[in-house]
Amino acid sequence: MPFIIIIRYLKEDFAMRVLIVDDEDMIRNVLKEYVEFEGNEAYEAADGMEAVRACRDNDFDVILMDVMMPRLDGFSAVKEIKKFKDIPVIMLSARGEEYDKLFGFEIGVDDYVTKPFSPKEVMARINVVTKRKAQREDTGDVVTFEGLTVDFAGRNVFVDGVKAELTPKEYEILFYFIKNKGIALTREKLLYDVWGFDFYGDDRTVDTHIKMLRANLKQYRKFIVTLRGVGYKFEV
């Protein structure tokens, strides 16, 4: 059933504000009961369009979004939200095909949970993506390597002063490389940390995205070094 949960951690009291969006009252009620049992605040909306409006009017830390939704499907909602807010997204769907996951990652999805799932698993995924965002925010706002400039706060990358058009996943890979500068990273570790711990892709997924990232970085592709038989390293 289509639903979105939007969660915001409040630093003052460590509670979460949760917006549950679903066209079925029963689903919303079950999720609301679980959220409130954990000491958090639950808010409800009846469809994906309301979720987009909620993101326009409020700041949240993570979105849990189903793929199949009335009026606006989950993928379309993600693309719309990403136009004006940088909010981590976890997709919840009965569709577990690799194509769907890859498409989601291309438009900016941070993790993908296949139904049926347990609330504990979902909470674990939330912790992973929120920690990842916190690490991104702890990194300096802007870093420069020769003519390559990365603006973490604005999620912009510039090559010799010209903005590079990276996909959200390419940006996440580049951020991860910079955060782990000088460290050898296996393809398995990249899959685990960037795509999520239950993504069933293979080495080709990593290689394909890095190939596209290198193409967008032009001459500064040299910073992404291939370690034969191991993986990659960001080296300046």
% the chain with pLDDT above 90: 20
CA distances to 19, 65, 102, 126 from 29, rounded to whole Å, are 12, 17, 31, 20
Residues 105 and 168 in one domain: no
pLDDT value of position 64: 80
Mean pLDDT, to the nearest integer, of 161-177? 89
Residue 187: which domain range? Answer: 139-234
Residues 27 and 131 in one domain: yes
- As a dihedral over the C-alpha atoms of residue 41, residue 45, residue 50, residue 56, rounded to 10 degrees, the angle is -10
Tokens 């987009």, located at residue: 52
Task: List residues bridging with 63 in a β-sheet.
Answer: 6, 89
pLDDT value of position 6: 52
Q: Is the pLDDT of residue 173 over 60?
A: yes
Residues 216 and 155 in one domain: yes
Q: Where are the alpha helices (DSSP H) in the chain?
A: 25-37, 48-57, 74-82, 98-106, 119-138, 168-179, 187-190, 203-217
pLDDT value of position 116: 73
Residues 158 and 114 in one domain: no
Q: What is the pLDDT of residues 19-64, one digit of tens each?
A: 777 776 776 677 777 777 777 777 787 788 988 999 889 877 778 8
Token pair for 236: 């300046």
DSSP readout, 82-115? HTT----EEEEES---HHHHHHHHHTT--EEEES
Residues 116 and 32 in one domain: yes
Residues 105 and 183 in one domain: no
CATH at residue 104: 3.40.50.2300
Q: What pLDDT band is residue 199 in, cutting at 50, 70 and 90?
A: low
Q: How many domains does the chain have?
A: 2
Residues 8 and 82 in one domain: yes
Listed residues 136, 163, 189: the one ending a domain: 136
Q: Is the pLDDT of residue 100 over 60?
A: yes
